[in-house]
Amino acid sequence: MSDAVQTQSNSKFKKRVFSGIQPSGGLTLGNYLGAVKRFVQLQNEEIETIYCMVDLHAITVWQDPEQLKNNTRQLAAFYIASGLNPEKSILFNQSAVSEHAELGWIFNCVARMGWMKRMTQFKDKAGKNAENASLGLFGYPALMAADILAYHATHVPVGDDQKQHLELTRDIAAKFNHDFGVDFFPMIDPVIGGPAARVMSLRDGSKKMSKSDPSDQSRINMSDDADSIAQKFRKAKTDPDALPSEELGLENRPEAKNLVAIYAALGDQSVEQVLSDVGGKQFSEFKPMLVERAVETLSPITGEMNRLMQDVSEIDRVLKDGADKARAIAAPILQRTYDIVGLLRPERS
């Protein structure tokens, strides 16, 4: 992929954060620590923040229509319960703002087949039966680029698994700018990092914690109660050694490394800080500390999600309001994009 224009200056673009999560059900601790917790931190730094429930991405694989509506509201509840404030952040679902799909189409005509074929997430999701995958799943990253660039967003917080898609977003922006001789779309900066950029399975430290893992024991779900959280961490795979007092000592100990990283991320600490406290302890002593910290953080979020889901009219109101605000930013950017591409579209009243 070309990185020809990636050095262009972003100084003309105001700092603006965009990210999204698919409402495909089954939110995990990975989604919380890798994504939403960081969304909240950025919101609280007083940067302009826009967070989306990407329902158009969810339907790249089959979704039951009733479930999808419920999952979208559930994800909105998760955002709000985790600390996203609709007064500070724009919260909305992707399909409510048609500019995403419109810009997605234009980017389908900018992105190249060869770029898409290299996407590891497509290969993973399509599996052996790629011929039977939807065209939408193949084009998924072009729509993702549209989500971000429809707002001229500059910063995108995501977990480590989305890095390749963000590189593609830069390639699409660079090619568009180059082909049309403009400096219109920004070169985004990924915001990836911290101890929980990649939360691993509790059963296998070499696999990502995922809602699609067949074993429920492999993950902490945002819907798990205190007893299940305790039971899952108690049974989490470890090794027989005590915890080291320095990060180097976690090398080649993927499960130990993962539990320490989760503990650190939950408490806003670095791995080094945690190890200087718990180095020398056995897992029999460390696991109860981890359970306590996890339950303390997650239980209020789960409780608040359940409360919010009892009256979805409030969630629907937040989403409508968010969609109106999002459209107000995206519509003029789309209008200008049509003009640059040479598509005739009368200004809308």
Question: Given 88, 125, 237, 325, which residue is catalytic?
Answer: 125
Question: Given 69, 88, 163, 211, which residue is catalytic?
Answer: 211
Per-residue tokens: 142: 């072009």
Choosing from 142, 209, 236, 256, the residue that interacts with ligand AMP (CB under 6 A) is 209
Pick the stretch among 154-162, 284-292, 305-313, 328-336 that binds ligand TRP (CB under 6 A): 154-162
Are 93 and 100 within 8 A, CB to CB? no
Catalytic residue check, 125: yes
Choosing from 88, 178, 198, 281, the residue that interacts with ligand AMP (CB under 6 A) is 198
C-beta closer to ligand TRP: residue 274 or 334: 334
Give the distance, in angstroms, between the CA of residue 284 and the centroid of all CA atoms in the same chain.
Answer: 33
| Residues 337, 180: Cα–Cα separation, whole Å | 10
Are 196 and 204 within 8 A, CB to CB? no
Provide the pairing of β-strand 189-191 with 155-157: parallel
Where does the chain have alpha helices with state H? Answer: 29-31, 37-44, 55-58, 65-82, 99-108, 113-117, 120-126, 135-149, 163-180, 226-235, 254-266, 271-278, 283-309, 312-341
Residue 18 binding partner per list ligand TRP, ligand AMP, none, with a CB distance cut-off of 5 to 8 Å that depends on partner kind: ligand TRP
Catalytic residue check, 235: no
C-beta closer to ligand TRP: residue 161 or 304: 161
Residue 199 binding partner per list ligand TRP, ligand AMP, none, with a CB distance cut-off of 5 to 8 Å that depends on partner kind: ligand AMP
Q: Kindly list the distances between the CA atom of residue 307 and the CA atoms of 26, 40, 66, 78, 80, in Å, as whole numbers in the listed order.
A: 18, 20, 20, 11, 11
Choosing from 55, 102, 147, 213, the residue that interacts with ligand TRP (CB under 6 A) is 147
Pick the stretch among 78-86, 112-120, 141-149, 316-324 that binds ligand TRP (CB under 6 A): 141-149
| CB closest to ligand AMP, residue no | 34
Q: Site for ligand AMP (CB under 6 A): how many residues?
A: 16
Are 164 and 120 within 8 A, CB to CB? yes
Per-residue tokens: 136: 């939408």
Choosing from 16, 22, 224, 271, the residue that interacts with ligand AMP (CB under 6 A) is 22
Look at residues 267, 156, 261, 258 and name the one whose alpha carbon lies nearest to residue 208: 258
Choosing from 26, 53, 89, 156, the residue that interacts with ligand TRP (CB under 6 A) is 156
Per-residue tokens: 236: 């989490």
Residue 219 binding partner per list ligand AMP, ligand TRP, none, with a CB distance cut-off of 5 to 8 Å that depends on partner kind: none
Residues 6+ apart with CB under 8 A from 1: 115, 118, 167, 168, 171
Residue 32 binding partner per list ligand TRP, ligand AMP, none, with a CB distance cut-off of 5 to 8 Å that depends on partner kind: none
Are 220 and 41 within 8 A, CB to CB? no
List binders of ligand AMP among 145-184 (CB under 6 A).
158-159, 161-162
Check binding of 208 to ligand AMP (CB under 6 A): yes
Choosing from 16, 18, 191, 232, the residue that interacts with ligand TRP (CB under 6 A) is 18
Question: Given 208, 232, 257, 287, which residue is catalytic?
Answer: 208
Choosing from 16, 17, 19, 43, the residue that interacts with ligand TRP (CB under 6 A) is 19
- Tallying the residues shown for the chain, one arrives at 349
List binders of ligand AMP among 81-120 (CB under 6 A).
none
**Residue ranges binding ligand TRP (CB under 6 A):** 18-22, 54, 57, 144, 147-148, 156, 158, 162, 165
